[in-house]
């Protein structure tokens, strides 16, 4: 895991190697006690919270096991 320190309004850019045109910009919008507000700029990305992502994966894995 890469750990970065950013201040409010600072961001990072994530893109597939060699495909900068598919960049996703992640920006720190606000910082309050016990919470950070992030903004995401980019197209062709589905952005979900990790708990939703993990739930979807679990449901898909359970479905695949039932189909076997």
CB neighbours (10 Å) of residue 37?
Answer: 11
Those residues whose C-beta lies under 8 Å from the C-beta of residue 15, and which sit 6 or more positions away, are 21, 22, 23, 24
Cβ within 8 Å of residue 23, ≥6 positions away: 13, 14, 15, 42
**Overall pTM surpassing 0.85 (yes/no):** no
pLDDT at 60: 78
Per-residue pLDDT of 29-65, as tens digits, reads: 999 999 999 999 998 899 999 999 999 988 877 666 6
């Amino acid at each position: 895991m890469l750990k970065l320190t950013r201040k409010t309004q600072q961001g990072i850019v994530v893109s597939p190697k060699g495909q900068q045109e598919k960049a996703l910009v992640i920006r720190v919008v606000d910082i309050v006690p016990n919470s950070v507000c992030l903004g995401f700029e980019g197209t062709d990305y589905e952005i979900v919270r990790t708990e939703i992502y993990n739930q979807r994966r679990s449901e898909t894995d359970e479905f695949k096991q039932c189909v076997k």
